[in-house]
Structure formats: C-alpha cells, structure tokens
Amino acid sequence: MSYDTIGASRRNLMFGVAAAAAGAGLLAALPTAEAKAAPENTTSTARLTSNTVTTKDGTVLYYKDWGTGPAVVFSHGYPLSSDAWENQMMFLAQNGFRVIAHDRRGFGRSSQPGHGYDYDTFADDLATLVDALDLKDAAFIGHSMGGGEVARYIGRHGEKRVAKVALVAAVTPFLARTDTNPNGAPIEVFDSFRAAVQADRSQWNKKVSMPYYNYNRPGAKVSQGVREEYWRQGQTTGIVAAYQAIGAFSETDFRDDLKKITVPVLIVHGSDDQIVPIEISGNISAKILKGGKFLIYEGGAHGLIVTQKDKLNADLLAFLKS
C-alpha cells in the first residue's frame, strides 16, 4: 500500500503534528531497593557514577537505575526524557525487575553538546551505559525514537547483552519517503517540524501533545496534567537536539538493523497513531521481524505508554516473563 492510498486519517502521517506547527505560526512511592554499588567500569573511557555516565567525547548522560532482578533497559521518544517511562519503570520494578533508563544526549538532564545527534552516536552512548553497568541478558524497550535507538544498538553492538526486545510505537523501520522507501512520509512533513522548533518551540510542544495522546479525537478525555508534563519534558531538551534529532529519526533507515535481531521481539503499536502511523512503521517492522509478536492497540495513540499504560504494563510483564 502506498502512503498516498492510506486514507484521510492516515494520509496525515504526523499531519496532526504538522497542523500544530502551523498553529505555532508556521505551515505511589518508588519501590524500595537495596542500594547498589556502582559496578566496576568495564570501558576505558566511560566514567560512571550512581546516576551519570560520561561518554568518550565527554558527554554526560543522566540515567535512572531502580530495583533488582533481570535488567530492563528503556529508550525514550522525542522530545521527551527517561521520565516518559515512569509508569512502566515503577510497575516493573514492583514486579521483580531492575529498570534502567537514560536521558539521550541533548535531552532531559544529560549534557547538551553541539554534535552527535545521529543514531550511530545514540547507539554508542547506550552501549557506553550498558557496558559500564555490565548488564547481561537484558531486555531492551524503545518507544518512538527510542525504538530506532534499540535497533541501531543491536545493529552496531550485537546481541551479547540482549535477551529480548520490545518496540513500542517505534519509528522503525524508516519514516521518510525515498526512492527505496516509497511508502514513507514526504520530507516536507519533517521540514515543517524543524521550522516549528525554530519559530516557537514552546508553543509547538503544547500543540503536539493533542495528537500525541489522541486528545484531538471526538470524545477524548483530555488530561491537562499529561499535556503539561509532555511540555515540561520537551522544554528540558536542548534546542540543538530538538532540531537535529528530527532528521535523525525521520531519515535513518533501520531495515538492516532489524534484520540483525534474532532474540524474541514484541512489537506494540496503536491503530490510530497520528505521529508514527502504523502503516509505515509497525506493520512493516512486523513483516521484517517475522518471528516477533505483534500487538495492535485498537484506537491506540502514539503516547500509549500513558494513555494505555495498564494494558501496556501487563503486556510487557507477560512478554518479559515468557
């Protein structure tokens, strides 16, 4: 199916978000766990503390590490931070897992260097953290932009530390339309995002929260708190990262990375994802990862990690225990 024949609601591939750009003037307590001593640093260049790791180029990455048990590593979406995973991390920590999540370079509480906003660097940053913590047999879960990070991590660093993978509303396998990817979205969509970042990023982050959580659908119960939290996280991301990461998540081809995944895979995608429509993402990833389990959340939004958190938590727990 070509992108042009998807239908009105899908044809807008992130056009709910592009409309937001136009609106901007353009087109319970944490589970108690025993304190863990920082493991011996296993890389010669990384410097590890209880909540930061320093990469070889001097970028300081913030991370969280809660609970005990089998390790689960989370990679967050755009333009958010590791805080986006709080519902899943708390739930899994309460159910016997050790949960780790970092703020990508330029995002959240991590350093904001002027370079390195590409998936090879993102994957190497993730490897720096995973190696420094010496994680073994870990599950890797990526949402949206973070799904690409997980895929590229495996593509570059292999599966020696990986037991399972979950891709949640992920940007994989390839979003932008090219000669080899005719079903992708027109580059003009992503150009409008970049323009919105430069014109009025704060207002754009407020507008985008509506289609992100499907709050713009008839009958939707809108949480202003959720919208404000999206805005807060988005504004902690540096403008260089916010601008350059758009090109990274839209123009990076993850098809070869997905083909290198041999461990068990769970794919979760909402049927009404307005940000990363299922037709050009989850459906195609599922065809590449033929042995993976594919769960479609009917009516599900891109931000289903919040809007359908209980269902997702249960599905992730079942997958991790399987």
Identified catalytic residue from 75, 82, 110, 144? 144
Give the dihedral sign, CA 209/214/215/218.
positive
Q: How many residues does the chain have?
A: 322
DSSP secondary structure code for residue 62 in this structure: E
- Helices (H), ranges, 176-274: 187-212, 224-236, 239-251, 255-259
Query: Closest by alpha carbon to 92, among 316, 268, 303?
Result: 316
Task: Note if 125 is an active site residue.
Answer: no
In terms of C-beta density within 10 A (0-12 exposed, 13-18 middle, 19 or more buried), how is residue 291 classed? exposed
Q: Measuring CA to CA, which residue among 196, 280, 183 is closest to residue 239?
A: 196
Closest CA to 140 of 315, 265, 294: 265
C-alpha torsion sign, points 258, 268, 78, 243: positive
250 is catalytic: no
Residue 102 appears among annotated catalytic residues = no
Catalytic residue among 76, 102, 269, 302: 302
**Identified catalytic residue from 273, 281, 285, 315:** 273
Determine how many CB atoms are found less than 10 A away from the CB of residue 272. 18
C-beta atoms surrounding 182 within 10 Å = 10
Positions annotated as catalytic residues are: 144, 273, 302
